[in-house]
Structure formats: C-alpha cells, structure tokens
Amino acid sequence: MTSDSSDVNQRGELANSQKQVEQLSQEVLELYRQVNLLYRLGDVFRSGLQVEDVCALLIAESAKVVRARGACVTLGEGVKYGTRITDPASTLTVPINTPQGRIGEITLFDKKRGFFTAADEKLIKAVARQAGVALENSKRIEGLIEQNQALETLNDELRAIDQMKSDFVSNVSHELRTPLASIKGFAATIREDPEMDREVIQEFVGIINDESDKLIIIINDLLDVSKLMSGHMDYNLEFTQLSRILSEVVALLMIQAKAKSLRLNLDVQQDARVNIDPTRMSQVFINLIGNAIKFTDEGSVTATLTATDREISVAIADTGIGIRKELLPHIFDKFYRVENVVHQKEGTGLGLALVRGIVDYHGGRVEVESKEGVGSIFTVTLPTSLVAGTRVNG
C-alpha cells in the first residue's frame, strides 16, 4: 500500500466517523427533544386541565413528536376527540391507562406505509401514560366541582328555608299579637269601667269573641300542619254531597265577601256524592274561597262544581291581584307567602299547604292558574272512584 493510498483510506475513515458522530449527535438531540417534550407535557397535563383540553393537547403533541399526519383519542364508551384521516397507510394505537385500568386509546395515522417504528410506539406510550394521569386528575377535579356546585345549591335551599322559617315566626307572632292585644285592650276597658253601658259591653264582648275566633283558627292551622307533617292527621270518611259542603262554605264566607262588596257565586253544573272527610274538605274550600276573597278587592269570586266520567272538579276563580308566574311553584309550600316582605294581608302561609295535604289524602290534586293583576283559578280535582256506587278495581 502506497502512502498516497493509505492517506485516502485514512481520510475516508475520518469522513465516515465524522458522519457517525453527526448521526449520533442528531439522535441524541432528537432524544433530548423527546424527553424534554415528555417533561413539558407532564407539567402541562398535571396543571388541572379539563378532559377536552387534555385530549386536544395529547392529539397535537403526539402527532408532532412522531411527525404523523393526524391522531384521534377515544375515551370510555366511544367519546371521540380529533379526526381520522381517510385511507391511512399506517396506524399506531396505544392504550391510555390510569391506575384504575384502561380508560381509552390514542391512534396515530399516516399516509406512508410502515411509517411508525418501535421507538415511536415507546414514545407515544410514555406520552399516553402522562395523559392518563392528567385525565384521572381532571376527572377528579370535575367531580369535586360538581360536588361543590351541589353543595352550594343545597346551601342556597337551606338559606331559603331558614329565611322562610324566620318570616313564618314573625308572621305568626304578628298574627297572634294583633287579636291578643285587641282582646286584652277591650277586656281591660270593661273591667276598669264598672259603670259601662250594657250595649257598649255587648259590642266589646262581640269584638273579643271575633278576635278569639281568629286566634283559634291560627292555632288550629298550626296544629293541623304539625299533624300533616308527622302523618298523624285523622280522617273520618263518609259519603257527602259535594254541593252541600260548597253551599255551607259559601254561606259562611258571604259576610266577608259582602264586607268587601264582592260577588260570591256558586255554580253547580254537576253534583256528586263522594266518600270524603266533610270537615277536612270544608277546610279546603274555606281556605281557597277565603284566600280568593282576601286577595280580591273588586269584582267576584266564583266556585264552579263540574263532573265528568273520570273526575270531579271544583274551580275557584277570582278577579283579584293574581300571582307572579315564577312564584306559582312555591305557594303550596308551608310557611310560604308572596307578601312576606310587606305585611299587608293577614295570613300565616299554612292554608295552601293544608289544602294540598288534604286533597292528596283523598287521591286528588290541586292546581292553580293565575295572571298578575287579572286573577287566579284554583282547581281541586277528585277521582270518581270516590263517588258513591263506583266500583273500585283491585
């Protein structure tokens, strides 16, 4: 071998090893880039992202790191993120695992055949592991957020109930204090004046009597609601003509309607003899017709009794102040009063709760339609299975 040819050989080897070093440093650089990406992804994934964000990041970064054309993620029962490319020549599918097990998979696509290498698979597996941890965390966070929201709603409801109870206590105290003050005042006046005219005494005693009646009504309502709540309300069922109950209630409340110059009408279109507790059912109509009179300043209150083959209905319509639409769902709650803020009309907010409880017991329902400033219609509907002579199956 001449010195010239050995020179050429040496130069060739040098060039070769230079190429190898270049290739190696390229691979080291690539590896460094990938490891760096994994660290970066780990940090991003751990920063409490939502499920959709984790998946979007997983798709973008996985495709980028192996230079694939596209990627998609499938979670659980087929929830998909990303899009498949049409007719891929190569696919690489890697599971996404959490400590609890497999929760989905990521698939990468490319148009070139044999595109993905074993090294790519290893790398995507590492990325998918990081994403699995992130998805687990984000699900935990989402669960916590949901729990928090549920707790907040519960808290709001508890606050509203608390407010309702405070309003109720102040209402009831007011409702009890007013007649009591009047009873005490008139009784003291009679006692202090032994010379008082018999006529004046009669008038004062009449007022004391009326005010005592108001107290008895409130106390009875309170006792009834507590019985209703504990499930200890007793019912004595007997066949009763519904029109008779309504006529009695209308006669009883006529004085109140007249005092406000309201027309109080009873329209019996179809009568029925039904198996009900007459005292409790009277209480229902006293409350509904009493409310209609209380919340109407002009016009009329009409109770209409109708019956079909399937149902018996009593509708109580008034031309009163009406009820705002958004408040309608609450008015049957115990203690609820639309006018809790400004106390103008008497009441404890127990009447409609009692009405609903009694009607429910009889297998019926009570509904309301109302328009503010126009009036309200409260309808009690009872099943015909209560009608005398009806055969009840079962």
| Chain residues in the site for ligand ADP (CB under 6 A) | 287, 291-292, 295, 318, 320-323, 331, 336-339, 347-353, 376
| Least spacing, CB of residue 375 vs ligand ADP, in Å | 7
Closer by beta carbon to ligand ADP, 208 or else 218: 218
Closer by beta carbon to ligand ADP, 274 or else 355: 355
| Least spacing, CB of residue 239 vs ligand ADP, in Å | 28
Closest Cα to residue 332, out of 373, 370, 362?
Answer: 370
| Least spacing, CB of residue 144 vs ligand ADP, in Å | 39
Closer by beta carbon to ligand ADP, 203 or else 339: 339
| Least spacing, CB of residue 162 vs ligand ADP, in Å | 19
| Least spacing, CB of residue 328 vs ligand ADP, in Å | 9
Report residue 388 as tokens: 């005398």
Closer by beta carbon to ligand ADP, 92 or else 321: 321
Closer by beta carbon to ligand ADP, 240 or else 304: 304
| Least spacing, CB of residue 314 vs ligand ADP, in Å | 14
| Least spacing, CB of residue 343 vs ligand ADP, in Å | 10
Using alpha carbons, list the distances in angstroms from residue 74 to 52, 59, 95, 99, 390: 11, 11, 10, 18, 61
- Using an 8 Å Cβ cutoff, are 209 and 242 in contact? no
